[in-house]
């Protein structure tokens, strides 16, 4: 079975799980009214989970919290919200808004795989200097993930990682990136750990061994570049492998912070497990 078909079926199973979770929420609320009202309040918070994953990956990744889990929990609470609020006009409006947002959130990946998944998966590697170039506007993270795997001697392509990361036209979440890297090494029977470090200073970054992936922003769009180490000049610079640029760029600390708007985070390889 092809990787693309496998992930398409996986996304379908997530949709069915969310529907079942929503029906479970309806049953729970009818039997436990007070508990249901408490759950309904939490529903709004859970539908903000994309923000949670984008801004707090150092919290969600070590705890193995996945977006799929929060999707199911969100629909469970949405079912509760329907029962608790449907008899009020404001409640019906709230339920309608939550339904639209949740449907968009859950359907985004399978619909994206349907329309662009094959195009992504067919992408062959185009090499820059020590890094892979992205073939599509939204595949910077998969290209960097493939570069990271290749640096460990693990054959990987941008296309494979784009499908494993469930990349869509809006990009890739960091939780999906870490999950995809773990899957890629597991299917190759390698036991490798990954770390997502946050709140780093440039000085702390310079002391970490390359390679790694840096979350940045370019032109008000979130982006990812490879951290390739430091130059050996009298005034060391950070070596950046940007998947949009064929060559390696040497950035001063000011350029990394002001031009690339580095988010002070780093996704890197940990140590091989014994």
- Report mean pLDDT in 10-residue bins for the chain, 274 residues: 67 72 70 56 51 52 56 70 67 71 68 64 69 90 94 89 84 85 89 86 91 90 92 86 90 91 90 43
CATH number, domain 126-272, options 3.90.70.10, 3.30.1220.10, 1.10.600.10, 3.40.50.300: 3.90.70.10
**211 upstream amide cis, omega within 30 of 0:** yes
pLDDT score recorded for residue 144: 95
pTM attached to this predicted model: 0.72
pLDDT score recorded for residue 272: 43
pLDDT score recorded for residue 227: 95
Classify residue 219 by burial, with Cβ atoms within 10 Å: 0-12, 13-18, 19+.
Answer: exposed
pLDDT score recorded for residue 114: 63
- How distant, in Å, are the alpha carbons of 48, 69, 205, 210, 268 from that of 228? 34, 34, 11, 5, 11
Asked if 263 and 217 touch (Cβ cutoff 8 Å), the reply is yes
Domain coordinates in residue numbering, the chain:
3-115, 126-272
HEC profile for 205-236?
A: HHCCCCCEEEEEEECCEEEEEEEEEECCCCCC
Q: How far apart are CA 217 and CA 212, in angstroms?
A: 16
pLDDT score recorded for residue 105: 65
Q: Please, what's the b/e burial string for 194-210 (b: 16 or more CB within 10 A of its CB; e: otherwise)?
A: bbbbeebebeebeeeeb
């Amino acid at each position: 079975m092809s990787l693309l078909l496998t992930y398409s079926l996986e996304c379908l199973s997530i949709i069915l799980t969310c529907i079942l979770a929503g029906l479970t929420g309806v049953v729970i609320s009818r039997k436990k009214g007070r508990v249901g009202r408490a759950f309904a309040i939490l529903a709004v918070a859970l539908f903000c989970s994309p923000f949670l994953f984008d801004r707090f990956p150092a919290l969600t990744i070590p705890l193995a919290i996945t977006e799929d889990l929060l999707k199911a929990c969100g629909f469970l609470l949405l079912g509760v919200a329907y029962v608790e609020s449907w008899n009020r006009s404001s409640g019906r409006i709230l339920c309608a808004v939550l339904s639209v947002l949740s449907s968009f959130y859950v359907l985004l990946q399978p619909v994206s795989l349907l329309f662009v998944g094959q195009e992504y998966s067919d992408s062959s590697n185009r090499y820059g200097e020590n890094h892979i170039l992205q073939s599509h506007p939204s595949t910077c993270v998969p290209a960097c993930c493939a570069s990271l795997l290749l640096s460990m001697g693990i054959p990987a392509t941008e296309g494979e990682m784009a499908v494993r990361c469930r990349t869509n036209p809006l990009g890739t979440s960091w939780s999906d990136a870490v999950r995809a890297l773990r899957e890629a090494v597991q299917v190759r029977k390698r036991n490798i750990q990954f770390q997502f470090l946050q709140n780093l200073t440039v000085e702390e970054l310079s002391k970490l061994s390359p390679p790694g992936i840096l979350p940045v922003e370019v032109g008000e769009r979130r982006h990812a570049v490879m951290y390739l180490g430091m130059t050996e000049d009298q005034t060391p610079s950070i070596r950046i492998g940007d998947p949009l640029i064929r060559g390696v760029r040497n950035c001063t600390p000011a350029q990394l912070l002001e031009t690339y708007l580095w988010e002070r985070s780093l996704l890197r390889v940990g140590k091989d497990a014994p």
